[in-house]
Amino acid sequence: MLTEVTATRYVTPLREGGSLPGIVEADDLGTYVVKFTGAGQGRKTLVAEVVCGQLARRLGLRIPELVTVQLDPVIGLGEPDQEVQELLKASGGLNLGMDYLPGSIGFDPLAYEVGPAEAGRVVWFDALINNVDRSWRNPNMLVWHGDLWLIDHGATMIWHHNWPGAAASAAKPYDASDHALAPFRPDVAAAAAELAPLVTEELLTEVTAEVPDEWLVDEPGFDSTDEVRRAYVAALLSRAAGIHERITLNEPSKPRPSQAPGWLAARLPVTGAGTGTEGAGA
Ligand SMILES: Nc1ncnc2c1ncn2[C@@H]1O[C@H](COP(=O)(O)OP(=O)(O)OP(=O)(O)O)[C@@H](O)[C@H]1O
Ligand SMILES: [Mg+2]
């Protein structure tokens, strides 16, 4: 299970995040970037953060610690910002926290070199989870103490938005042409040889067990939360086996009008919206 902490103070919103994540202090004296259950993107974003984040960690990729954050909306009462107040009011109960990396900077391909082995591991992992949100427009990676850290796995596993079509969707290829690490000659074959054998039913069962029940309950078409967990396991397990052969790496696209679906467009930063092809591989 993820460690559970209790929010003690709402510090500030992170305006660059489409879902209005906020920096929150907790009773363990930790500081977290919190994604709220009351945000427009809904609880599936949080499920994706846990499943993909904890899977990444077990595969040896760098990702800040995840916790669940118990929130009493009363901590937002003094918030001057109406939007933040509404969000906190709608987010009582469990939310998702990610350890805040103080002093980290957003990944910039011109300022930070990544080797083909590491780039390959990240691209292969993103293909596995069908991450459409790690493009050069919005890399969702941080550099901290000289290392590359992965964040923001909310826009992944598109198949969980339509379970009846999940098997077909999970079988689709992955276009990594616009991936933020595409220029670093990612060695996806080596990454697949190393990582695919690790993605076992047992590992995925362990990872999905960490998703809080309340984010899975009453999923249409399922009788229990464990049945939902098994659906995540099945989709990822089948995808792990051969996805590296279906990753395409062509010339990156030029900016053009967004073709992202509405639920994703709302997550894109203002500067990226209207220019993206982030729907790649979806
Ligand atoms: N653990 C962290 N430590 C430090 N800064 C962080 C951390 N997590 C997120 N941030 C900062 O907050 C911003 C928003 O976070 P994140 O990308 O997870 O939110 P989001 O709402 O899903 O964003 P978007 O959909 O716009 O990419 C990041 O771009 C980064 O600058
Ligand atoms: Mg982001």
Specify the range with the lowest mean pLDDT, choosing from 25-39, 105-119, 141-155, 262-276: 262-276
What is the DSSP-derived secondary structure letter of residue 197?
A: G
* Residue 109: closest CA among 173, 163, 185, 12: 185
For residues 196-216, average pLDDT: 98
**DSSP 3-state assignment of 198?**
helix
3-state secondary structure of 192: helix
Counting every residue written for the chain, the total comes to 282
Residue to mutate, 63, 151, 258, 271, ligand 1, most ligand atoms under 8 Å from C-beta: 151
Q: Is the pLDDT of residue 45 over 90?
A: yes
Q: Which position has the higher pLDDT, 140 or 265?
A: 140
Provide the pLDDT confidence category of residue 273 given band limits of 50, 70 and 90. very low
Residue pair 220/148 in contact (Cβ under 8 Å)? The answer is no
* Inter-helix orientation angle 225-242/43-58, to 10°: 50
Ligand 1 midpoint to CA 152 (Å): 6
Q: What is the DSSP letter of 196?
A: G
- For 74, list phi and psi in degrees, rounded to 5: -60, -25
State which ligand 1 atom lies nearest to the alpha carbon of 99: 1
Helices 225-242 and 116-128: crossing angle, nearest 10°? Answer: 130
Amino acid sitting at position 145: H
Task: Supply the pLDDT for residue 274.
Answer: 36
pLDDT, tens digit (0-9, with 9 covering 90-100), for 85-144: 999 999 999 999 999 999 999 999 999 999 999 999 999 999 999 999 999 999 999 999
pLDDT for position 254: 75
State the closest ligand 1 atom to the C-alpha of 32, by its place in the atom list counted from 1.
1
Protein residue with least CA distance to atom 10, ligand 1: 33
Nearest ligand 1 atom to alpha carbon 140 = 17
| pLDDT at res. 170 | 87
Candidates 19, 60, 59; CA nearest to 38 is: 19
Nearest to 101 by CA among 166, 135, 60, 148: 148
**Rounded CA separation 204/232 (Å):** 8
Q: Quote the CA–CA distance of 144 and 25 in Å, as a whole number.
A: 20
Residue of 121, 119, 152, 118 whose CA lies nearest to 272: 152
Q: In this model, does residue 257 exceed pLDDT 70?
A: no
pLDDT interval class at 259 (50, 70, 90): low
Distance 272 CA to ligand 2 centre (A): 11
Q: Write down the pLDDT at residue 18.
A: 79
**Mean predicted lDDT score pLDDT of the chain:** 91
CB within 6 Å of ligand 1 — which residues?
Answer: 14, 16-19, 21, 33, 64, 98-101, 104, 106, 133, 138, 140, 142, 151-152, 154, 267, 269
In tens, the pLDDT along 168-188 reads: 988 899 999 999 999 999 999
- What pLDDT band is residue 165 in, cutting at 50, 70 and 90? very high
Ligand 2 centre distance from Cα of residue 17 (Å) = 5
Q: Could you tell me the distance, in angstroms and rounded to a whole number, from the CA of residue 223 to the centre of ligand 2?
A: 33
Quote the pLDDT of residue 41. 86
Query: What was the pLDDT predicted at 163?
Result: 96
Quote the pLDDT of residue 277.
36
Q: Which own/partner pairs from 23-30 qualify as long-range (CB within 8 Å, at least 24 positions apart)?
A: 23/100, 24/69, 24/71, 24/97, 26/67, 26/69, 26/97, 28/3, 30/5, 30/67, 30/97, 30/99, 30/100
Contact 137, 178 (CB under 8 A): yes
What does the DSSP 8-state code read for residue 234?
H
Taking CA atoms only, the protein residue closest to ligand 1 atom 14 is 17
- Whether 262 shows a pLDDT value over 90: the answer reads no
Beta-carbon contacts of 196 under 8 Å, excluding residues fewer than 6 positions away, are 124, 240, 241, 244
* Nearest atom within ligand 1 for CA of residue 14: 12
Percent residues over pLDDT 70 in the chain: 90
Does the pLDDT at position 202 exceed 80? yes
pLDDT of residue 98: 98
pLDDT at 278 > cutoff 70? no
Judge residue 176's burial from the number of C-beta atoms within 10 Å of its C-beta, 0-12 exposed, 13-18 middle, 19 or more buried.
Answer: buried
CB-neighbour burial class of residue 146 (10 A; exposed 0-12, middle 13-18, buried 19+): exposed
What does the alpha-carbon distance between residue 247 and residue 71 come to, in Å, rounded to a whole number?
40
